[in-house]
Amino acid sequence: MRRLIALLPVGLFLVLAGYFAWSLRPGYDPHELPSAMIDREAPAFDLAALAGDGRIARDGLKGQPLVINFFASWCVPCRQEHPLLMRLAKQANVRLYGIAYKDKPEDSARFLSQLGDPYRGIGVDRDGRTGLDFGVYGVPETYVVDAAGHIRKRFVGPLTEAAVEKELLPLLRRLGGS
Amino acid sequence: MIVELGHFCLILALFVALIQSTVPLVGAARRHVGWMATGRTCAIAAFLLIALSMAALMHAYIVSDFSVVNVAENSHTDKPLLYKVSGVWGNHEGSMMLWVFMLSFCAAAVAVFSNNLPPALRARVLAVQGMIGVGFLLFILFTSNPFLRAVNPPANGHGLNPVLQDPGLAFHPPFLYLGYVGFSVAFAFAVAALIEGKVDAAWARWVRPWTLASWCALTIGIAMGSWWAYYTLGWGGWWFWDPVENASFMPWLVGTALIHSSIVVEKRDTLKTWTILLAIVTFSLSLVGTFLVRSGVLTSVHAFATDPARGTFILLLLLVAIGGSLALFAVRAPKLQGGGLFAPVSREGALVLNNLLLSCGCATVFLGTLYPLFLDAMDGPKLSVGFPFFNRTFVPLMAPMILAVGIGPMLAWKRGDLLGALQRLWVAYIVAALVTLAIFYVTYGGPVLAVLGIGIAVWLAAAVVTEWVERVGLFRISLADSFRRAIKLPRAAYGMSAAHFGLAVFVAGVSASAFSQEGIEVLKAGGSMKLASYEILLERVEKIPGPNFTADRATIRISSGGVAVATVYPERRFFPLQKQTTGETAIRTNLLADLYLALGEADAEGNWTVRAYWKPLVPWIWIGAAIMAFGGLVSLSDRRWRVGAAARARRSAVAAPAE
């Protein structure tokens, strides 16, 4: 018995090492969405809007390509990404919507009043349900959804200048043209 | 040339470490005095070589030698000297250099201050440290060489991330790494004890000062990091449960358990297997943290350049170091002799409870940090774990622990009297109840849990004082006798009281943060806002030049009831090289509360966003941590580490020859 208990720590460690080895396999990137979600229909959501009494719902936004950004006032990288979103929102062809993930509405509102509001509309995902449906790994995350409502691209973590210029905008141009 | 010398020293250090990790080990097994002695020589030689190598790298930074890739990528000629020096460890390669430098420093310290140790134990401890050194030197030389030369050196460097251009960088990583790596000494002692198959009170006495010293360094390191985040990020937060923060917090939690459980080994010669395991786990968590931060497995705000090849290398290191030591544990631990028995309600029992709660606390942090990875591997949904998880799991675990901290020292060894201890704390209940009610009355309608948190903190502080009063017999015997007793009380006792008192101060600071107030307003020059009892007037904003940035500096006058309190100057700094803006907050503190001001962006009409926070008791978070670390240092100065250890060492060296 004593012997078995003494084996426990090394056993647990080997399991952990197995996970680590798995996470290091070539091609794994925690920033990538599993391919299963790509090109699937975006999960349905119908959220209260942060400002006013409106709703922000998937079906109401269909018809044109869409950029959905999950953010929260408590998230440090969101602040880092914010100026980029502000610039992005100024481009005519970008429909940028925000989802305030697990955040009190008053905190989200304050966050946006400090830094500026780049979104055309913001859904309040207080309990994180919609984030869960999308498979949000951590905030910020950004999704590109095409006119038919299919997820075409996912960005985990703060957007970078390069990601916007080389991936997001070209993708939107392609989606808008087709 | 100097750069090549540095590289050469590092390679030489690798070979010295190879000798250090093998020859003394064989010597200890064969009881060959000369072979055992090489451990000392090698440890000191390796330290000197690595120090030279570090100096060479630092020199390259100071003279801005951009033919070195590492310097070109992370430095710039316009950078102030302080950041040229501290920028050495502001990147992956350089911070690994700091890591091995600290490691070799610890090994050399063991070599110098180990005259008390039986030669065989010393040889084995140094050999284990040598092995860790070999692993990390190989890692640096093969995957993260900071001495790499560029074929076409650039005219100037890329500069250092502006966020890191802060005095915090000069102090936070060295203390943190000293703490992390310091636990390698406890680890080496544990492995050496397993090889010898003998753990006794003397062993605990040797290992405790090293553990305490690393714990102090880690406490200071973490507190500094948190303070740095608080004053630079500009929105008043001080802990974010970020994977990198958690990576430093986990060894701290288990290390705290270790300094407590090793007391039991020292005083009562029991809990040995558990203590050995804790010593292994503490350093293992430091290593796992290194892996998590640098392999890119988890996403974090602390950006290090990540590279899968490095991840694989560190994973191999983990397998050898952690897997190897735990396998040795599995083989040898069942053979360790158990020690004295004790009742569940006793000082030992309280320390076991403390250990259980701290270990569970560490397990929750571990789970929360790695949960996304585990779920992902099981093909589960991608989940995120943040503040809500930790607040709901970690905090409830720590609340009973704070109660245990107050009661534990009141219990006797072997068998304690819980009811008696609870009764003897009557003053603490009254003080805590009065303060709680008073705060509740003043803040009626505010957060109730925060009031309770402060109440618990007050109770703990009162319990710590009560314990001291009992020890010196104040109010029971004459004042003069009490005074004599107070002087004679060992420093370790004062250390404990101070550290526990620091915890109370810390808890009060954390709880009170629920009462903070904040205000954000868009102000024109001359405009003002109100926050708490303060009037905040934005007088003007002017452009000022800095060494490698330009800043918008606001002049803000704070007054309260018409009386001027202070004038502060928060800034927004723009670094043209990186095209990045950072905030420089202005904090006005009276040690009871902070008034925290940050300058936001300006709009086209010249209106400035000004953010102001009033944070009661927030400085106590760091004051509390500083008192904890101070307590550790006081305990470290106890004379029994110097006198007792030597006497015991001689005795046990005679009584028990190695092997």
Residue pLDDT tens, chain A, 178 long = 778 888 999 999 999 898 888 877 765 555 555 545 677 888 888 899 988 888 888 888 888 889 999 998 877 778 878 888 998 888 877 889 999 988 888 888 888 888 889 999 999 998 888 888 887 767 788 999 988 888 888 887 788 887 888 888 888 888 875 4
Instruction: Count the Cβ atoms, other than its own, within 10 Å of residue B439.
Output: 20
| The pLDDT value given to residue A26 | 66
Q: Write the CB contacts of B185 (distance below 8 Å, at least 6 apart in sequence).
A: B106, B110, B125, B129, B207, B210, B211, B214
Provide φ and ψ at B602, rounded to 5°. Answer: -105, 145
CA dihedral B58, B59, B61, B63 (to 10 degrees): 160
- End-of-domain residue from the set B127, B142, B160: B160
Q: Are B40 and B122 in contact (CB under 8 A)?
A: yes
Residue A6 resides in a domain: no
**Which is nearest to B518 in space by CA: A50, A71, A110?**
A110
The alpha carbon of residue A46 is apart from the nearest alpha carbon of chain B, in Å, by: 20
A-B CB pairs within 8 A amount to 107
AA letter at B208: R
Q: What is the largest CA-CA distance in chain A?
A: 70
The reported pLDDT for the residue numbered A80 is 78
Lowest-pLDDT range of A126-135, B168-177, B589-598: A126-135
Same domain, B256 and B232: yes
Residue with tokens 């009297």: B417
Is residue B214 within 8 A of residue B258, CB to CB? The reply is no
| Domain of A169, in residue numbers | 33-177
Instruction: Tell me: do B380 and B434 sit in the same domain.
Output: no
Q: Do B188 and B89 have their domain in common?
A: no
Q: Mark which of B160, B184, B218 sits at the end of a domain.
A: B160
Q: CA-nearest residue of chain B to A110?
A: B520
CB B248 within 8 A of CB B222: yes
A20 touches chain B (CB under 8 A): yes
Burial classification of residue A57, based on how many CB atoms lie within 10 Å of its CB (0-12 exposed, 13-18 middle, 19 or more buried): middle
Name the 3-class secondary structure at B535.
strand
A13 and chain B in contact, CB less than 8 A:
yes
Q: Is A1 on the interface with B (CB under 8 A)?
A: no
Number of domains in chain B: 4
Token duo for residue B233: 């990020």
Which of A2, A8, A22, A24 should one mutate to test binding to chain B, selecting the residue with the greatest count of B CBs within 10 A?
A24
What does the pLDDT average to over B371-377? Answer: 76
Residue B420 in any domain: the answer is no
Same domain flag for B304 and B228: yes
Query: Which two tokens mark B70?
Result: 């590492």
Query: Based on the number of CB atoms within 10 Å of its own CB, is B547 exposed (0-12), middle (13-18) or buried (19 or more)?
Result: exposed
What residues does B68 pair with on adjacent strands? B149
Evaluate if residue B495 carries a pLDDT over 90.
yes
User: What is the CATH number for A141?
Assistant: 3.40.30.10
Q: Do B377 and A23 touch (CB under 8 A)?
A: yes
Minimal Cβ distance to A76: which of B233, B370, B382:
B233
Residue A78 falls within a domain, yes or no?
Answer: yes
Q: Residue B380's pLDDT is what? A: 62
CA dist B106 and B515 (Å) reads 43
**CB-nearest partner of A137 from B329, B372, B520:** B372
CA A97 to chain B, closest CA, distance in angstroms equals 21
Q: Is residue B412 assigned to a domain? A: no
**Candidate from A14, A131, A157 with C-beta closest to B299:** A157
pTM of the complete model: 0.83
**Residue with more model confidence, B192 or B604:** B192
Q: Which residue range forms the structural domain that includes residue B545?
A: 517-617
The Cα of B554 is separated from the nearest Cα of chain A by a number of Å equal to 17
Interface of A with B in 127-166 (CB under 8 A): 131-132, 135-139, 156-157
> Where a domain ends, among B142, B160, B178?
B160
Q: Are residues B310 and B331 in the same domain?
A: yes
Report CA-CA distances (Å) from B59 to B3, B17, B65, B652: 8, 24, 8, 47
Provide the number of structural domains found in chain A: 1
Q: pLDDT category, B653, cuts 50, 70, 90?
A: very low
The token pair that represents B238 in the structure block = 């001080």
* pLDDT-above-90 percentage for chain B: 53
Question: Residue B658 has what pLDDT?
Answer: 36
pLDDT, residue B652, reads 47
Residue A90 lies inside a defined structural domain of this protein: yes
| Chain position carrying tokens 């989802």 | A99
Report in angstroms the alpha-carbon separations of A91 from A94, A112, A122, B7, B231.
Answer: 6, 19, 18, 50, 34
What is the model's pLDDT at position B302?
Answer: 53
Q: Is residue B411 part of a domain?
A: no
In a domain, A169, yes or no: yes
- Identify the DSSP state of B345: S
Shared domain for B609 and B643, answered yes or no, is no
- Report DSSP state, residue A63: T
A76/B301 CB distance under 8 A: yes
H/E stretch holding B594 reads: strand B593-602
Q: Residue B584: name the closest of B597, B593, B566 by CA.
A: B597
Distances (CA, A) of B620 to B217, B425, B531: 19, 24, 21
Residue A12 inside a domain? The answer is no
In a domain, A58, yes or no: yes
Residue closest to B146 by CA, chosen among B155, B137, B154: B137
Tell me: do B238 and B374 sit in the same domain.
yes
Amino acid identity for residue A83 in this structure: P
Does residue B655 surpass a pLDDT of 50?
Answer: no
Q: What is residue A68's predicted lDDT score, i.e. its pLDDT?
A: 93
* Interface touch A30/B373, C-beta < 8 Å: yes
HEC string for B415-444: CCCHHHHHHHCHHHHHHHHHHHHHHHHHCC
Q: What is the pLDDT of residue B386?
A: 72
In whole angstroms, what is the distance from residue B99 CA to residue B214 CA?
14
**Cα first-last separation, chain B:** 48
Average pLDDT over residues B629-636: 95
B52 in any annotated domain? yes
Q: Return the structure tokens found at B103.
A: 């490691």
CA distance B127 to B37: 11
Q: Is residue A69 part of a domain?
A: yes
Judging contacts by C-beta atoms under 8 Å, the chain A residues touching residue B330 are 3, 6-7, 9-10
Look at A21 and B318 and tell me if their CB atoms are within 8 Å: no
| Rounded-to-integer distance, Cα B338 and Cα B341, Å | 9
Q: How far is B388 from chain A (nearest CA, A)?
A: 9
List chain A residues with CB under 8 Å of B240. Answer: 76
Tell me the CB-side half-sphere exposure of residue B369, using CA atoms within 13 A: 28
B385 and B529 assigned to the same domain: no
Describe the strand order of the beta sheet including A66-71 as a list of residue ranges. A121-125, A96-101, A66-71, A141-145, A151-156
From the CA of B298, how many Å to the nearest CA of chain A? 7
- Chain B residue with the nearest C-alpha to that of A4: B330
Average pLDDT over residues B399-426: 88
Choose between B340 and A71: higher pLDDT: A71
Q: Give me the residue from A9, A102, A156 closest to B329, CB to CB.
A: A9
Instruction: Average the pLDDT over B17-23 and give the result.
Output: 96
* pLDDT of A178: 44
Please judge whether A24 and B312 are an interchain contact, meaning their C-beta atoms are less than 8 angstroms apart: yes
Helix (H) or strand (E) holding A130: helix A129-134
Quick check: B370 and A17 CB within 8 A? no
- The CA distance from B311 to B313, in Å, is 5
Would residue B413 count as lying in a domain?
A: no
